[in-house]
């Protein structure tokens, strides 16, 4: 789960992270009031969407105008900027061409910037540890830094048995060329970020840029927090920060039905039980020269209600031209799954090719039910056969 910049800063501030004073605004009038409470002379008006590159982005309604982060020098200018930005569609590298509608702004005080650094914490899959990533190239996307200057990226893994030591912060500070007051401030910032990461069950904390001020202090000028969905049951206060405007409606609907769904860019919808099997299914579709439209794990209980919900979600994606169902009947019997698929196909009036591969308990009975259903559902012998059949059907432009 992702949250907005202002929400991330509020959380991090509670762990001692230095942030600038700011206010949220959902209307030009609120932006004016917020700006009047800030010291100036420079005020920053920031679009709040779940995507990076906001400053370099452009609004669809004014493609030749300014971006999603604007510097102003008076409350009146802040109000004018808010009028231009709110309810407009901001397109950045991370939003794709569709962009995101800006529903709220963060009105923040300006800052005396001497240097810009990069800092993030994430779980390194290779080591299984929380890893601190830092760089002198603040303000840039870390992928670009890794591409042209990989030597400028510093990494430090934290032993969970020991936890964070201030020594690690001081070591990174020296490597970044910080000294004195700035080095001490950096060590405190890293310690605060690590404490927040563990306490909030984060997936990532990214501060880009982390700026060194003219006075030698440090300030988190931007902040991104993402949380491990599997740990959200421990943090009901974080669930309240969810902004459904920023999430895929299909993913929200899937969550309501207990389905694990992630939208992708392909045209073959996948409905599978088990995350590993779902990944294998997507891989084999790609091996056949096509692209999956989604990851969808219906879990162990593929009931009629769940299958109907899954089909409706898949078919709500206009890019889906065919569906592959790949179910292993371990917890659930294949005949029950087959009946659920048949009833769901009738209920949603399926209009795209459907290939079903069943394996496990009562597989022969499940295949027989599908063959005798009178519906144009294609049975497959194995996963490779299923992938070939659905890719062929989609390429032929077949319809159910």
Residue positions annotated with a catalytic role: 118, 206
- With contact defined as beta carbons under 8 Å apart, do 266 and 284 qualify? no
- What's the CA gap between 135 and 59, in Å, rounded? 30
Which among 374, 298, 290, 284 has a CA at the least distance from the CA of 336?
Answer: 298
- Count how many residues are written for the chain: 400
Strands 129-135 and 113-124: antiparallel
Please give the distance of CA 264 from its chain centroid, rounded to a whole number.
12
Q: Tokens in use for 294?
A: 């989604």
- Backbone φ/ψ region at 284: left (φ over 0), alpha (ψ -120 to 50), beta: alpha
Classify residue 68 by its DSSP letter: S
- What's the CA gap between 197 and 205, in Å, rounded? 7
Which among 148, 47, 142 has a CA at the least distance from the CA of 99?
Answer: 47
């Amino acid at each position: 789960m992702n949250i907005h910049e202002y929400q991330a800063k509020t959380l991090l501030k509670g762990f001692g992270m230095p942030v600038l004073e700011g206010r949220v605004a959902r209307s030009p009038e609120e932006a004016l009031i917020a700006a009047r409470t800030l010291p100036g002379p420079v005020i920053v008006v920031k679009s709040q969407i779940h995507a990076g590159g906001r400053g370099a982005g452009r609004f669809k309604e004014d493609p030749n105008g300014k971006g999603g982060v604007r510097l102003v020098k008076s409350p009146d200018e802040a109000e004018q900027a808010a009028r231009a930005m709110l309810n407009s569609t901001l397109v950045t590298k991370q939003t794709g061409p569709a962009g995101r509608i800006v529903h709220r702004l963060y009105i923040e005080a300006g800052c005396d910037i001497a240097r810009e650094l990069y800092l993030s914490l994430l779980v390194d899959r290779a080591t299984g540890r929380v890893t601190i990533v830092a760089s002198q190239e603040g303000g840039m996307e870390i992928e670009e830094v890794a591409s042209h200057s990989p030597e400028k990226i510093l990494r430090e893994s934290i032993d969970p048995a020991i936890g964070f030591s201030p020594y690690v912060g001081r070591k990174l500070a020296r490597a970044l060329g910080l000294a004195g007051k700035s080095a001490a401030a950096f060590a405190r910032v890293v310690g605060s970020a690590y404490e927040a990461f563990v306490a909030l069950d984060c997936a990532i904390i990214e501060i880009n840029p982390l700026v060194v001020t003219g006075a030698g202090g440090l300030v988190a000028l931007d902040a991104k927090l993402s949380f491990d969905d599997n740990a959200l049951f421990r943090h009901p206060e974080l669930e309240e920060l969810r902004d459904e405007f920023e999430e895929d409606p299909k993913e929200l609907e899937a969550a309501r039905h207990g389905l694990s769904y992630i939208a992708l860019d392909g045209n073959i919808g996948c409905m599978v039980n088990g995350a590993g099997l779902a990944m294998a299914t997507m891989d084999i579709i790609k091996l056949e020269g096509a692209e999956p439209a989604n990851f969808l794990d219906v879990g162990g209980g593929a009931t009629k209600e769940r299958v109907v919900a899954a089909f409706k979600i898949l078919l709500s994606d206009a890019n889906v031209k065919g569906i592959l169902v790949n179910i292993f009947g371990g917890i659930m019997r294949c005949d029950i799954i087959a009946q659920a698929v048949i009833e769901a196909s009738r209920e949603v009036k399926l209009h795209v090719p459907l290939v079903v591969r069943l394996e496990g308990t009562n597989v022969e009975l499940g295949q027989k039910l599908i063959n005798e259903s009178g519906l144009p559902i294609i049975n497959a012998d194995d996963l490779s056969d299923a992938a070939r059949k659905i890719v062929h059907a989609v390429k032929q432009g077949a319809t159910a």
